[in-house]
Amino acid sequence: MMTDRVRVWMFGAALWFAAAPVPVRALETAAADDRIVARETCPARDPDYADYRSRQMANYRREAKAAKSQGLAMSPSTVAEASILSAAEYLDRGAPGITCERITYLSDGLKVVGYLWRPATARDGDRLPLLVFHRGGALEDSKLRPNTQFGFDRFVRAGYVVIGTQYRGNDGGEGREEFGGADVRDVLAVTRIGQALPYVDPRRVFALGYSRGGMMALLAARAGAPHLAIATVGAPTDLRSARAAADAGSLATARRLIPGFDADPDAALSARSAMAWAEELRVPVLILHGGADPIVSAAAHALPFAARLRELGKIHDLVVYEGDTHGLQISGRERDERILEWFRRFDAVLPSP
């Protein structure tokens, strides 16, 4: 449902109708070490509604303060409060029906931690679509938890199996993440592991990334991940612009995590900026962004990236939510509806081989 807070650019919609169908990619043969070596059932969720509501408003206030300092107009607190789930809705989300597991899997011989969510009714022989979720943040910040997006209930209840990685070196995993370097192989490995699950259709693979996770999803697509479609939320697509604007936070993270950053920062940032290699993307991309995002600027990232995809004739849609936050907190319901509709548009429900 469209609202007056939403300004929509759909540069790629006409291209979809004129383009040939997106081919379904063959299942890539898993490497010998692409396997789960440990798994444990997630603990039950503690349904503390007051804590949830408090955390939602605290996040809004932090971002609203940052947005104001940058001259961005975020929606008023009354709008943010109205977007919060009611107590009944909160208790309903993440209710029984979703199975969650914390997994440890191998990637480059390293033990890497991830999470797997699936419908409790999933059985061997089912042909469910796979959603690979790419978390944002770095190191232990914004890592996956059992209740991330309420156990991804909107997606699991829509029939998806959801899998995601913490990236190497995090949450007890081995190695060290590289903010879009070797850790991209952790994404590729967890994708192949998800494809091999006995209740997943390996040809129906989709990707969703928030913030840095959007960068990771695009990097994985460039590296050959078999996605039928990608959706990003608040994704940085041109880290070179962040460097030009002296974004101290982003540069500090890059310098700390990217091997050899100081020797050639331009090369390091270009390698992680989809704007620099947009012509290599072969997958439809839905770009969602908050118009008042104080962490990743829509003007510096989403808008020029969409313009570049349009120039290249790539299938994509761009939706900017006026006055919304980095994670589209205020428009959460519509955000997820748009993502699910985008995936349905490119889903290929194929008969079993």
Alpha-carbon gap, residue 349 to 352, rounded angstroms? 9
Q: Would the pLDDT of 25 be above 50?
A: no
How far is the C-alpha of 333 from the C-alpha of 329, rounded, in Å?
Answer: 9
Residue 91, Cβ neighbours under 10 Å: how many? Answer: 13
Q: Using a CB cutoff of 8 Å and minimum separation of 24, what contacts does 267-270 make?
A: 269/239, 269/240, 269/242, 269/243, 270/240
Domain ranges (residues) in the chain: 6-346
For residue 101, the model assigns a pLDDT of 97
Distance CA 317, CA 265 (A): 31
CATH of domain 6-346: 3.40.50.1820
Tokens of 160: 């998806």
Q: What mean pLDDT is reported for the chain?
A: 89
Global pTM reads 0.90
pLDDT for position 23: 36
The residues, any chain, with a CB within 8 Å of residue 65's CB and separated by 6 or more, are none
What is the mean predicted confidence (pLDDT) over 86-101?
Answer: 90
How do residues 118-167 score in pLDDT, each as one tens digit? 999 999 999 999 999 999 999 989 999 999 999 999 999 999 999 999 99
